[in-house]
């Protein structure tokens, strides 16, 4: 399971880092969360899934083969 945080949606509520502190942390400068590692270790998967459900901005994105293949916003591909 791979995840990333969409910084354009993240509002820095901190919920994800409280629920899954081994997987998310907030940036000291801009206050946005980011995934500590792209690949979520199997033992942290439940916490991360709860963090995804709890994020009020739906900013945590699960990277699947489809999302990895899709061009990012602003990508001229
Ligand atoms: S819970 Fe969502 S909006 Fe809040 S810090 Fe985490 S990713 Fe950002």
| 20-38 residue pLDDT tens | 999 999 999 999 999 999 8
Buried-exposed string 34-70: b where 16+ CB fall within 10 A, e elsewhere: bbeeeebeeebeebbbebbeebeeebbbeeeeeeeee
- Which ligand 1 atom is nearest residue 24's CA? 6
Q: Is 58 in the pocket of ligand 1 (CB under 6 A)?
A: no
- Which ligand 1 atom is nearest residue 9's CA? 3
* pTM reported for the whole predicted model: 0.84
The domain made up of 2-69 has a fold known as: Alpha-Beta Plaits (3.30.70)
pLDDT > 90? residue 77: no
Distance CA 19, CA 47 (A): 6
Q: Is 25 in the pocket of ligand 1 (CB under 6 A)?
A: no
> What residue ranges do the domains of the chain occupy?
2-69
Q: Is 14 in the pocket of ligand 1 (CB under 6 A)?
A: yes
């Amino acid at each position: 399971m791979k995840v990333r945080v969409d910084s354009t949606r993240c509002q820095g509520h901190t919920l994800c880092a409280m629920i899954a502190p081994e997987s998310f942390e907030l940036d000291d400068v801009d206050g946005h969360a980011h995934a500590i590692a792209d690949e979520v270790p199997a033992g942290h998967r439940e916490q991360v899934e709860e963090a995804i459900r709890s994020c009020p901005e739906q900013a945590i994105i699960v990277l699947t083969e489809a999302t990895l293949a899709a061009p990012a916003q602003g990508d001229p591909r």
